[in-house]
Amino acid sequence: MANQCGIPDQQFLWDVFQRVDKDRSGHISADELQIALSNGTWSAFNPETIRLMIGMFDRENKGTVSFQDFGALWKYVTDWQNCFRSFDRDNSGNIDKDELKTALTSFGYRLSDHLIGVLLRKFDRFGRGTILFDDFIQCCIVLYVSISILH
C-alpha cells in the first residue's frame, strides 16, 4: 500500500489497528474505538462523537471501520487533537467560551455571543461552563452539518 501524504507509516498504523481491534474481527467497532480513545488523557469518550466519527469513515456502512479507512480516521483524530490544543490557549484541557468563540471564528463562522453561549451549554456535558475534547469535536461536526443543510 502506498504511503499517502500526512498519513503515518503503515506498519505503525497496523500496530495501532491491531491493538484497537480487541476481538480481531478485522474491523474497528464503536466500542473498540471508544476504549482506545478513553485510554488517553480523556475519561469516557462521548459515544455520540464516536458514532459520528465511525459514520464518516465507514464506507461499507456496517457501523465499523476497516484497516483501509483506519489511516484516515487516525489522522482525523490527531488533527482534532492538534486543533483542540491550539485553541486551548491556557492549557486547561478544555475550551471555555472565549476559546470557543476564537475557534469558531477561525473556522469561518460568524456567530453571536448569544449563539456561542447556547452551543457551549448544549455541549457542556458536565455543567462546568467548558467543553472537553470529544464534545468539541461533536460541536464542530454538528455545526458543520447544520450549516451545510442551511446553505
Rank residues 4 and 92 by Cβ distance to Ca ion and give the closer one.
92
Residue in this structure with the C-alpha cell 471564528, named with its chain if needed: 105
Three-point CA angle 106, 88, 17, nearest 5°: 95
Torsion region of 32: left, alpha or beta (phi above 0 gives left; psi -120 to 50 gives alpha): alpha
Rank residues 6 and 59 by Cβ distance to Ca ion and give the closer one.
59
Could you tell me which stretch among 66-74, 78-86, 90-98, 133-141 binds Ca ion (CB under 5 A)? 90-98
Whole-angstrom Cα distance, residue 120 to residue 115? 9
Could you tell me which stretch among 23-31, 36-44, 71-79, 100-108 binds Ca ion (CB under 5 A)? 23-31
- Phi, psi at residue 8, to the nearest 5°? -60, 165
Among 25, 39, 68, 106, contact with Ca ion (rule: CB under 5 A):
25
Residue in this structure with the C-alpha cell 467548558, named with its chain if needed: 130
Could you tell me which stretch among 43-51, 78-86, 89-97, 111-119 binds Ca ion (CB under 5 A)? 89-97
Residues 6+ apart with CB under 8 A from 104: 111, 116, 119, 143
Among 2, 11, 82, 90, contact with Ca ion (rule: CB under 5 A):
90
Contact between 41 and Ca ion per CB under 5 A: no
Q: Applying CB under 5 A, which residues contact Ca ion?
A: 21, 23, 25, 88, 90, 92
